[in-house]
Amino acid sequence: MTITHHPDMSTLMAFSAGTFDEPYAVVIATHLAMSEGGRDIMHRLNAIGGALLDDEQETEMSSGALDRLLAAADQPDLPEQITPSSDVPLPLAPYLPNGLTSAKWKWSGPGVAICDLPTRDESSSRLMLLRVAAGRPVPEHSHGGQELTLILSGAYRDRFGLFGPGDIADHDEDVEHKPIAEMGA
């Protein structure tokens, strides 16, 4: 898998710092599961973050902070009842326990379907799957801020180039584009 479109560095830094809402964190974690180069960059950013923390002045922790940290570290990455499907990367498995075949698609226009993936946090951001038939354009749409789009399968092309599996489009609200799903990708 050759990945040519990566997240913006500020996006990776936000993920490293743990400041993203759940939907964004899931997209970046899934991208990193598909991108060895992305994981390498993330290791470096985590090291930089660690070095910055080392330079901070020591301060008193709230009571029970260590116990909460150790309890969180003991939590399994995946609930026991989830067996990762072979057709979705591991970070996506809790949201699609039986893989892409279990996605509940809703018609959203000719050749376009959406599957909302419920998240646990209460942010206004939204996580979803978008499915576009080959040769069809993604409909023009609006959104209030950053939009992360990770290709899981197939490909699309827009004015920024060709996006295949593992590639990510990291756009803010000012970017206008009209991706068209590739034929035979």
Partner 1 sequence: MKMLNISPSLKWEPDCICLVAVDAPLSFRSRLIRTLQPLFGL
Instruction: Please report, as ranges, the residues that interact with partner 1 according to CB under 8 A.
Output: 21, 23-24, 26-27, 30, 92, 100, 108-109, 111-112, 123-135, 139-156, 181-185
Give min distance, CB of 34 to partner 1, in A: 10
Under the phi-then-psi rule, with left for phi > 0, alpha for psi from -120 to 50, and beta for the rest, what region is 101? Answer: alpha
Closest CA to 183 of 136, 149, 140: 136
Give min distance, CB of 103 to partner 1, in A: 9
Give min distance, CB of 72 to partner 1, in A: 23
Give min distance, CB of 48 to partner 1, in A: 24
CB nearer to partner 1: pick between 10 and 66: 10
CB nearer to partner 1: pick between 45 and 185: 185
CB nearer to partner 1: pick between 9 and 61: 9
Q: How far is CA 50 from the centre of its chain?
A: 23
Give min distance, CB of 85 to partner 1, in A: 13
3-state SS assignment for residue 41: helix
Burial 126-138, CB ≥16 within 10 A → b, else e: ebebbbbeeebbb
CB nearer to partner 1: pick between 47 and 173: 173
Let me know if 29 is exposed, middle or buried by CB neighbors in 10 A (0-12, 13-18, 19+).
Answer: middle
3-state SS assignment for residue 2: coil
CB nearer to partner 1: pick between 82 and 134: 134
Give Cα separations from 64 to 53, 59, 61, 69, 70 (angstroms): 20, 15, 8, 9, 10
CB nearer to partner 1: pick between 82 and 119: 119
Give min distance, CB of 73 to partner 1, in A: 26
